[in-house]
């Protein structure tokens, strides 16, 4: 596997840790986003940009993996962006 795909996978795993907090919201109504110092959406967007470049450079199985990673990153971005939009503290602002 292309080394940059491995790095992208590692970075997505980190972002996934933050995105998984959405499960607590769905299951228990607890809305706790990442600390303000962590730009989860920016992290995911960076991975998406890197993978978009790789899609133009790799072939075969690596291309399949790159496309899968990109789709997963897009899904994480959508889920977390909607989670942030639903922040109850925004209503009091």
Contact in structure between 40 and 12 (CB atoms under 8 Å): no
Enumerate the domain spans of the chain.
Answer: 3-88
What does the pLDDT look like over 5-22, one tens digit per residue? Answer: 999 999 999 999 989 888
Q: Please, which residues have CB within 8 angstroms of residue 87's CB and are 6 or more apart in sequence?
A: 31, 33
- Read off the tokens for 89: 């503290």
What does the pLDDT look like over 31-81, one tens digit per residue? Answer: 888 888 889 999 999 999 999 999 999 999 999 999 999 999 999 999 999
What residue spans of the chain are helical by DSSP H?
Answer: 3-19, 21-28, 40-55, 60-85
Instruction: Inform me whether the pLDDT recorded for 4 exceeds 70.
Output: yes
């Amino acid at each position: 596997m292309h080394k940059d795909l491995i790095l992208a996978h590692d970075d997505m795993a980190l972002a996934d840790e933050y995105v998984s907090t959405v499960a607590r919201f769905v299951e228990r109504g607890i809305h706790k986003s990442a600390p303000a110092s962590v730009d989860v959406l920016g992290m995911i967007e960076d991975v998406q940009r890197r993978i978009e470049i790789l899609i133009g450079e790799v072939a075969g199985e690596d291309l399949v993996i790159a496309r899968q990673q990109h789709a997963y990153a897009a899904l994480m971005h959508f889920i977390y962006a909607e989670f942030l939009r639903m922040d109850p503290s925004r209503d009091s602002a």
